[in-house]
Structure 1
C-alpha cells in the first residue's frame, strides 16, 4: 500500500464511473486526488470516499469542454498541493448519434471537443510542472473504438478516440526525456452511466436484451467490464512497476472482437 504516497493526481470526470474508480484506486495507494466535472454533488461524494481512505482530496466544478475551465483542476491542484504527478483526462462521450452513411454532421465537432481537445487542454496545463519535476504520469481514456472501426458507430467518436491514441504516443515520444510517461487505456463495454443499452438498442433497431448480448458475445470472456477493472490498469501504469511502460494503447475489454 501507499505506493503513491506524496503524489497528487488530477482526474477529470471524477464524480462517477471510470473516473471515480480511478480516483479512488489512486487514493487507496496514498495519492491526494483532485477530481473535476460539471456535477459538484458527485465530486463531493468521491472526495469524501478518498478522505475516508486517509488522503486529501479536492472537488473542482469545471466544464472540460471550455478551454479555461479545462485547466482549472490542474491549477487548483498546484495551488493546494504545489505539485502534480498524475493526470487522467477521463471526460468523454458522444454528442450525436449518426453514421458516415447518414451524410450528417450532428455532434461531430462537439464529440471531438469532448473527447480529444478537452484532454489536450488539461494535459497542456500540467505539462510545465511535470517537466520541471522531471516526473509525470499521463493516462488518456480511449475505447475499443480507438483501435478499430465501429459497426455503425458515430464517426466523431471513433475519430476522437483514434486521435487520443495518436496524441498519447506523441506525448510519450516528446516527454520521455523529462521522465514523463503517457499511455492510453482502451476500455470495452463498461458498466457506467454512459453505457445505456436501451438507447443503444434503439439506435441499432434491436431489443435491449439483444444489445447486451451484442456486447458480451463479442468478448472472449463473455463479460461487460466494471469501472474497477479499468482502474486496476491505471494503477499499474502510475505505479513504480509500470514506470517503463509508455506510448501504449492498452485494451481492458475482456477480449473484445479479437
Structure 2
C-alpha cells in the first residue's frame, strides 16, 4: 500500500503511543493528514518531532476521551486545521491485565468497571457523537480498535472482555445507524508490544504491557497461536486500518471486523475451563 489515503484527514484517539501511534504514522505514510488526540502532552510532542518533514500534516490535541468537550474540540481543530474530517479512529483504551472476578471485591470491581468502561466504551461513543456530522459531509468512515477479546475469552479479565464485546456491538449498531453516509468497521487486534496501561482504580496506571514483553526471554513467540512467530510490533497491525479508511478500496464494506490476532479462531480455547483451581 502506498498513497491509499492521499488527501484523507483522520482523527485518532489515544494516538500518542502504541497501536494508535503506529496507525497515525502509517496514515502519514499513505498520504493522509492526521490529528492525534492523547492525554499525554509529552507523547504528543515526541510524535510531532519524529514526523520530520511530514510535521505539516500532523496536528495534536491534548484531550481525555471521557470528556465530550475535549472530543468536540479535537474534531473542531481537525476541521479548522485541515478543512474536513474523513476518518475517525476511536482507539484509546486501557487493559485489566486479566484480573479475574475471583480477585476483585465488589467495591474494587465497581470502581474499575466505571473507569474502564468510561474510556473503552463511552470514549468511543463520545468520539462518534462529536465526529459524525463532519463524517456525513465527506461520506467518511469510522475504524474502531477492537481486540481478540471482542470474540474470545481470556484475552483480558471480565471487565476488558465485556468492554470489547460492547464495542463490537457499537460497530454493528453504528454501521446501521450511520449508513449509507458513513461506513463503520473495526480491527480486532491481538497482543503486541505497546504501552497499554491498566486502570488507576486498580493501581495499574503505571503498569505497561511493554514491560511484560521486555521481561520475557522470548521475542514474543506464543505457542497458543497458529502464527506463533508473528510480529508483535504495532506497525504490523496497521494495514487493515488503511484498507478500511480508504474509500477507494473498501467503499462497500461496513459493519465488518477484521481479525489481526495470529489465528486465534483456528486454535480454539486456551484450556478446557478457567476455574479448575476454585
TM-score bin, normalised by smaller chain: 0.7 to 0.9
Mapped to 1, the partners of 2:43 and 2:19 lie a distance apart of 13
Q: Deviations over 1:21-67 (max 9, x none)?
A: 11111111211110011111221232344452475211111111223
Match of 2:199? none
Q: Deviations over 1:158-187 (max 9, x none)?
A: 111011111011111122211x11111111
Q: Deviations over 1:83-105 (max 9, x none)?
A: 10010011001267632334531
**SS of the residue aligned with 2:180?**
helix
1:150 is aligned, of 148, 154, 158, to 154
1:79, distance to aligned residue in structure 2 (A)? 2.0
Match of 1:166? 169
Mapped to 1, the partners of 2:68 and 2:158 lie a distance apart of 23
Match of 2:123? 118
Mapped to 2, the partners of 1:181 and 1:45 lie a distance apart of 31
Task: Give the TM-score normalised by structure 2.
Answer: 0.80
Cα distance 1:208–1:255, how it changes in 2: closer, same or farther (>3 A)?
same
Q: Any gaps of 5 or more consecutive residues in structure 2?
A: 197-207, 267-278
Cα distance 1:126–1:95, how it changes in 2: closer, same or farther (>3 A)?
same
Mapped to 2, the partners of 1:50 and 1:87 lie a distance apart of 20
Mapped to 1, the partners of 2:242 and 2:261 lie a distance apart of 16
Contact conserved, 2:194 with 2:210, CA < 8 A, in 1? no
Mapped to 2, the partners of 1:243 and 1:48 lie a distance apart of 34
Mapped to 2, the partners of 1:208 and 1:96 lie a distance apart of 16
Aligned length: 248
1:248, distance to aligned residue in structure 2 (A)? 1.2
Task: Give the TM-score normalised by structure 1.
Answer: 0.86
Correspondence 1:243 to 2:246: no
1:230 is aligned, of 237, 244, 252, to 237
Mapped to 2, the partners of 1:33 and 1:76 lie a distance apart of 11
1:198, distance to aligned residue in structure 2 (A)? 5.9
Mapped to 2, the partners of 1:118 and 1:137 lie a distance apart of 17
Contact conserved, 2:225 with 2:264, CA < 8 A, in 1? yes
1:127 is aligned, of 125, 132, 138, to 132
Mapped to 2, the partners of 1:2 and 1:49 lie a distance apart of 20
| Structural RMSD (CA) | 2.5
